[in-house]
């Protein structure tokens, strides 16, 4: 990538192409009925999870190429482990924010240094594209918890936030005025995973409150770009949480209605998906922050 515009264009165009086909990039691993039986965030060679927009990019790449392994390495990292990337392998793009310092003067003529942010990209390879890695790189994680124990841990995760969650009716939503998450009874959902996935979506909205992340993307009506962006944040945030908690996100009935507004937002602003993913990551981090230290992500 020659410059930051190329990076924004490349990532945004991929998301747009998925949406135009009716596919939600952040749900594709589950939609494809992942062979490994367990979805997690993409992992660095160190085992550290990727964050933000890189999660979406690597999920999409894994699906496109049929990778089940969650671990990704640079060519240099593979070489350092005395392993080698298979000939002809196509790398996948990931990005990181950096900055450079520019010297100048302020309005008083005083010399100042200003940090100028920019986006950089580099290439990684899935562990399945690399021969000779230590054996643990090829071990695909599987779900080991019994269903009841798994949902008990998910319940504890959301309970730790002390959010006001009330049940009743047939709609799920977050009320900013009352600071309340409204959920239909769990019995009305197709299964427990659908309930908790919907709760993850609404709890991502819950983080927007002024006493928490104070996230205000503007827009109060369905067709507003700001409204669509907040929904996009909740969508991606819920996908991150579902991967962290080992549950399958639900394909919501309103997805089709939102696709047009998401396409409009992304076409108007090539940085929109980066912004949404960043807010989603902050929301997930905020919810993880309520957990006991040993259970934090």
Query: How far apart (Å, rounded) are the C-alpha atoms in residues 19 and 258?
Result: 10
Q: What angle do CA 259, 260, 261 make, to 5 degrees?
A: 90
Position 295 pLDDT exceeds 60: no
135 and 168 both lie in a single domain: no
Tell me what the pLDDT averaged over the chain comes to: 87
By three-state DSSP, how is residue 174 classified? strand
The pLDDT of residue 153 is: 92
185 and 67 both lie in a single domain: no
Query: How far apart (Å, rounded) are the C-alpha atoms in residues 42 and 59?
Result: 7
The values of phi and psi at residue 267, to 5°, are -70, -30
Segment of 98-102, 165-169, 189-193, 252-256 carrying the highest mean pLDDT? 165-169
The values of phi and psi at residue 92, to 5°, are -120, 145
124 and 193 both lie in a single domain: no
Confidence at 36, pLDDT banded by 50, 70, 90: very low
Answer with the one of 73, 107, 142 that is the final residue of a domain. Answer: 142
Confidence at 258, pLDDT banded by 50, 70, 90: confident
Query: Which residues form the domain of 168?
Result: 145-297
What pLDDT digit, counting tens, does each position of 202-228 carry? 999 999 999 999 999 986 655 577 889
Residues 95/121, Cβ–Cβ less than 8 Å: yes
Q: Which residue has the higher pLDDT, 201 or 190?
A: 201
pTM: 0.87
Report how far apart, in Å, the C-alpha atoms of 209 and of each of 1, 81, 106, 235 are.
38, 46, 36, 17
Query: How far apart (Å, rounded) are the C-alpha atoms in residues 133 and 123?
Result: 18
Answer with the one of 142, 158, 187 that is the final residue of a domain. Answer: 142
9 and 117 both lie in a single domain: yes
132 and 188 both lie in a single domain: no
Q: Dump the DSSP string for 182-241.
A: EE--GGGSSSHHHHHHHHHHHHHHHTTSTTTT-------STT-HHHHHHHHHHHHHHHHH
The pLDDT of residue 219 is: 66
Q: Is 247 left (phi over 0), alpha (psi -120 to 50) or beta?
A: beta
255 and 286 both lie in a single domain: yes
Q: Which residues of 215-250 are buried (b: 16+ CB within 10 A; e: fewer)?
A: bebebeeeeebebbbbbbbbbbbbbbbbbbbbbbbb
Confidence at 296, pLDDT banded by 50, 70, 90: very low
Confidence at 35, pLDDT banded by 50, 70, 90: very low
The pLDDT of residue 220 is: 64
158 and 238 both lie in a single domain: yes
Fill in the DSSP letter of residue 43: B
150 and 102 both lie in a single domain: no
What pLDDT digit, counting tens, does each position of 2-12 carry? 555 588 999 99
Query: How far apart (Å, rounded) are the C-alpha atoms in residues 218 and 247?
Result: 30
What pLDDT digit, counting tens, does each position of 55-70 carry? 999 999 998 898 989 9
What pLDDT digit, counting tens, does each position of 274-287 carry? 999 999 999 999 99
Query: How far apart (Å, rounded) are the C-alpha atoms in residues 130 and 279?
Result: 33
The pLDDT of residue 221 is: 59
Number of domains in the chain: 2
122 and 167 both lie in a single domain: no
132 and 163 both lie in a single domain: no
39 and 125 both lie in a single domain: yes
What pLDDT digit, counting tens, does each position of 38-58 carry? 678 999 999 999 999 999 999
What pLDDT digit, counting tens, does each position of 80-118 carry? 999 999 999 999 999 988 766 777 777 777 777 777 767
Residues 228/265, Cβ–Cβ less than 8 Å: yes
Q: Among 21-30, 238-247, 261-270, whose mean pLDDT is lowest?
A: 21-30
Position 234 pLDDT exceeds 50: yes
Answer with the one of 142, 161, 190 that is the final residue of a domain. Answer: 142
149 and 212 both lie in a single domain: yes
């Amino acid at each position: 990538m020659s410059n930051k515009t190329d990076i924004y264009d490349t990532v945004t165009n991929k998301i747009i192409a998925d949406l135009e086909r009716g596919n939600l990039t952040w749900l594709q691993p589950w939609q494809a009925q992942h062979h490994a039986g367990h979805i997690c965030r993409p992992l660095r060679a160190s085992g550290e999870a990727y964050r933000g927009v890189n999660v979406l990019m690597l999920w999409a790449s894994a699906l496109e190429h049929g990778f089940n392994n969650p671990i990704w390495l640079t060519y240099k990292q593979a070489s350092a482990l005395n392993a080698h990337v298979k000939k002809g392998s196509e790398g996948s793009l990931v990005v990181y924010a950096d900055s450079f310092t520019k010297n100048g003067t302020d309005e008083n003529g005083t010399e100042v240094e200003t940090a100028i942010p920019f986006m950089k990209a580099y290439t990684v390879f899935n562990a399945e594209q690399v021969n000779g890695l230590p054996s643990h790189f090829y071990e695909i994680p599987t779900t080991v918890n019994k269903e009841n124990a798994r949902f008990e841990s998910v319940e504890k995760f959301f309970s730790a936030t002390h959010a006001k969650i009330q049940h009743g009716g047939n709609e799920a939503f977050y009320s900013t005025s009352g600071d309340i998450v409204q959920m239909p009874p769990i019995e009305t959902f197709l299964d427990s995973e659908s309930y908790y996935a919907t709760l993850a979506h609404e709890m991502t909205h819950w983080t927007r409150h002024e006493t928490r992340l104070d996230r205000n993307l503007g827009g109060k009506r369905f067709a507003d770009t700001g409204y669509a962006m907040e929904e996009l944040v909740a969508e991606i945030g819920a996908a991150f949480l579902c991967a962290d908690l080992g549950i399958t996100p639900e394909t919501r009935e309103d997805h089709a209605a939102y696709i047009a507004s998401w396409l409009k937002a992304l076409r108007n602003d090539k940085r929109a998906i980066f912004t949404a993913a960043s807010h989603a990551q902050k929301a997930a981090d905020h919810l993880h922050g309520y957990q006991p230290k040993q259970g934090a992500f």
